[in-house]
A and B are shown apart, each in its own frame.
Chain A
Amino acid sequence: MNIFRLTGDLSHLAAIIILLLKIWKTRSCAGISGKSQILFALVFTSRYLDLLTSFISLYNTTMKVIYIGCAYATVYLIYAKFKATYDGNHDTFRVEFLVVPVGGLAFLVNHDFSPLEILWTFSIYLESVAILPQLFMISKTGEAETITTHYLFFLGLYRALYLINWIWRFYFEGFFDMIAIVAGVVQTILYCDFFYLYVTKGEGRSQLSIPT
């Protein structure tokens, strides 16, 4: 565990908590893509099935349980508790265009053709594009609340920090996971446009507009 990996995990955790608290405190999930949140719940579920088969560390297990729990809690708040505030009309990204190709790719390109490994690969690929419904929604409505942009910033920062972690691990541990690295690069690139707007326009403004 290096500092980049740890701050990456904490950044990821911060993003998840920020979103959960935002919805809870404002009693509203307006501007949040329920579809992206379902995809993230699917990502965590398919990736962390190894909770049942292998123990890595207390840290690892704890974080996985927190991530899965928060993901389902978020989905519950959006689709059940605060369903009335859910902006379904603007959340129109066709998720099957992500899930189906990603599922096919996971079958074709993986480290090992076993159920758990294919599901892990599926989760890695799916995570890299899971934010697209959210970005699509923002581009459609043309704006995002500040707190939503903080959520996106930490969520994007997490994978960017993981990229540095992988460079570190390659040099110091000889660790190299091509699938995670390529998907991580794709994932980070998807946030670049947002990062630029967040840094240049986010300061001192109450709302962030993303040009379509």
Chain B
Amino acid sequence: KADETPHDEL
């Protein structure tokens, strides 16, 4: 999952 969608929240 980390590769597909980087964590965009803080």
| A interface residues (Cβ-Cβ under 8 A, vs B) | 5, 9, 12, 47, 50, 54, 56-57, 60, 63-64, 67, 111-112, 114, 116-117, 120, 162, 165, 180
Contacts and interface: CB of A to CB of B under 8 A. Distances in A.
Interface of B: 1-3, 6-10
A47 B8 CA distance: 11
Contacts of A117: 1-2
B10 A12 contact: yes
Contacts, number: 29
A112 B1 contact: yes
Given A111-B1, A112-B1, A117-B1, A54 B6 contact: yes
B6 A114 contact: no
Closest 8 CB pairs of A and B: A111-B1, A117-B2, A54-B6, A112-B2, A112-B1, A56-B8, A63-B10, A9-B10
A163 B1 CA distance: 21
A14 to B, nearest CB: 14
Given A60-B10, A180-B9, 9 more contacts: A50-B6, A50-B7, A54-B6, A57-B8, A64-B10, A67-B10, A111-B1, A112-B3, A120-B7
